[in-house]
Amino acid sequence: MEVDLPRDVAGEIRATARPGKAQEALERTDRAVSLLESGDAQGAAKEAERAKALAPRSAAVREILGLAFYAQERWRDAVRELQAYRRMSGRVDENHVIADSHRALGNPERAVQDAEQVLEGDVPDEVKAEAAVVGASALTDMGRLDEALGFLRRFSAKAGQGRPFDLRVWYVSGDVLERLGRREDAAREFLKVLRYDPNAFDAAERLAALT
């Protein structure tokens, strides 16, 4: 059976699979990815768990399993698998998911710590934006609104661009500013969102309530 996994991922699974189990591990992983992309997180988790049994030292398999658990809101399981992925790979590109899981478990301090590592890491802008949102939301949970705003401002949007993740950062910034009583500043953030996407979130309603 042909698999559609990236070459480096396939190579890592082959290298870590139990003897004679590489092909089955690849096929299970490939199915897990397809199921996760199609919205069947439960099916994805089952396939990824089977792949894990065949290649327990594969960082890629643990990442996919963790994301499948996260999609099912199985927060503790997601943290366990994604922490294993981080340990095996040395990468922090799923820390925003770990952080969001900690937040869902009622551990906002841990969420901030994990998000902090992303902002300091060498990861794509989208990942940094998501970490900024999660970390700021966790600080907001603790009532630390000024810190939340500062956390968001550590992510820098590119001038003249309004990428989907930029809009998320601006929207959450608007929310925090409104909570701080800075209504005019909040309105400006919601207006930035609407310039790029008039239908984004409930930004239009939030802006209307402020003006």
The distance of Cα 164 from the centroid of its chain, to the nearest Å, equals 14
pLDDT bracket for residue 95 (50, 70, 90): very high
Q: How much of the chain exceeds pLDDT 70, in percent?
A: 98
What is the per-residue pLDDT across 148-194, written as a single tens digit (0 to 9) for each? 999 999 998 776 789 999 999 999 999 999 999 999 999 999 999 99
Does the pTM surpass 0.75? The reply is yes
CATH 1.25.40.10 segments of the chain: 1-91, 98-211
Q: pLDDT value at position 211?
A: 84
Classified by CATH at the fold level, domain 98-211 comes out as 1.25.40
15-31: pLDDT as tens digits = 999 999 999 999 999 99
Query: What's domain 1-91's superfamily in CATH?
Result: Tetratricopeptide repeat domain (1.25.40.10)
E-strand stretches of the chain: none
What is the spatial distance between Cα 80 and Cα 11, in angstroms, rounded to a whole number?
Answer: 24
For residue 3, pLDDT beyond 80:
no
- Residue 146 near residue 182 (C-beta atoms within 8 A): no
48 near 26, Cβ under 8 Å? no
Torsion, CA 55, CA 60, CA 61, CA 62, rounded to 10 = 110
- Which amino acid is present at 203? A
